[in-house]
Amino acid sequence: MPQPKVRFLDRTTPPHVLTLVLLAGLPALTMNIFLPSLPQMAAHFATDYGVMQLSVAAYLAVNAVLQLMIGPISDRYGRRPVLLISTALFLVATLGCMLAPTIEVFMAFRMAQAVIVTGMVLSRAVVRDMVADSQAASMIGYVTMGMALVPMIGPTIGGVLDEIWGWQSTFAALVVAGLGVLALVWADLGETAAPRDVSLLGQFRQYPELVRSRRFWGYALTAAFSSGAFFAYLGGAPFVGSHVFGLSPSTLGLYFGIVAVGYMGGNFLSGRYSVRVGINGMIFWGTLIALVAPGVSMALFGLGLMHPLAFFGAMSLVGLGNGMVLPNAIAGTLSVRPHLAGTASGLGGAIMIGGGAALSALAGALLKPGTGAWPLLIIMAATSAAAVVAVLYVRWIDSREGPIASMPKG
């Protein structure tokens, strides 16, 4: 069936891809724009780095919990109202972070900021509302390729803002971005979900239908383990940059963005080749590429090459692999039960982000003066290897039951 023509800022037509990119990008920006400022924020609040780093892990943990609720709520009440309300709440929480007088107040508002995860969850669900599963991976790939620009420039912008105006200015930038996204959703994104008569409680009761699918778990765990390396990087890279290599916030921001360059390249490959190669093929090769990255960095350190590029440069392969894995794994989770696309996006995202929160916290706890980057690299290697095992499990299911296109109940 041909898709209706898209007209930008006309919510009677499907949303423009720019709207979906920015919806998915704001949660990513919120997660990482202030990372170069973590050491300075620890000094401001008179706490140590490990406590300050919990602002990443706690944010991810609340993200995971919220995603369990966002999917069913949006499947019942629609994508548009959930997005508008959550973005407005995000603005309030961001102002609270910027004006927080103590670390306790900051952490409370920081966790409240996680409500913006609706943008990430529902931008995927909107794609699945609009196109068939055979095209979803390709479109998600292009959306997340654009989204990759946000985390690539976010830490760089945050580092520069910190050096000029202090860490609070990074949260002021998030307020401006949030206002822009709210206006864009209001003007461009109409309702894309099909009306459903199922009550909200009934919507939650459909979770067992999803969790009984072995294929759903295969795709969800592949995404979780693959992204686990990236989330561990988010938790540990600020320490490595500032304590191991002695980088300033702005320089750390520049190096930090290297992983997103690789991610954008992987998303481009997903958008270009997923339909031709198949989602499982793209996932498999992406997991192998990501597994190579920590090995390269370990080898360079072992040879005595202690330059920031020996760490941050190798991380571009993690980005490349994740860019190939995540759009395809996400499309797989959404296509197992198409009528539960929002629920699947939420549950899959909760699994992915929940694991990421744990790994981010673990990386922050294990990295101490004198350890170097080794604990972080070991965590990244272990999770990347687990992702390879998970995708091999999906391929085993396909060999026994047929691919998802011919087994819609998976």
Kindly give the confidence (pLDDT) of every residue in the chain, 410 residues in length, as a single tens digit, with 9 standing for 90 and above: 445 576 777 777 778 878 888 888 898 889 878 888 888 888 889 888 778 878 877 887 888 788 888 877 887 788 889 999 999 999 999 999 999 999 999 999 999 999 998 988 888 778 777 766 556 666 776 776 666 667 667 877 888 888 888 889 999 999 999 999 999 999 988 877 766 666 666 666 767 777 788 888 999 999 889 888 888 887 788 888 888 888 887 788 778 778 878 888 888 888 788 778 888 899 999 999 999 999 999 999 888 888 888 999 988 999 899 889 988 888 888 777 766 666 777 778 778 777 776 777 777 777 777 777 888 899 999 999 999 999 999 999 888 877 665 443 33
Boundaries of domain holding 135 = 17-401
- Those residues with Cβ within 8 angstroms of residue 371's Cβ, 6 or more apart along the chain or in another chain: none
Q: Is residue 116 part of a domain?
A: yes
Q: Is residue 3 part of a domain?
A: no
- Those residues with Cβ within 8 angstroms of residue 49's Cβ, 6 or more apart along the chain or in another chain: 38, 39, 42, 239, 364
* Alpha carbon separation from 119 to 136, 209, 310, 346 (Å, rounded): 17, 25, 34, 11
Q: Is 151 helix (H, G, I), strand (E, B) or coil?
A: helix
Q: Is residue 300 part of a domain?
A: yes
Q: Cα 315–38–366 angle (5° rounding)? A: 60
Other beta carbons within 10 angstroms of residue 368's beta carbon come to: 13
Q: Is residue 4 part of a domain?
A: no
Indicate the pTM of the whole model: 0.71
CATH number, domain containing residue 159? 1.20.1250.20
Q: Is residue 313 part of a domain?
A: yes
Calpha distance 250→264 (Å, rounded): 21
Number of domains in the chain: 1
Q: Is residue 2 part of a domain?
A: no
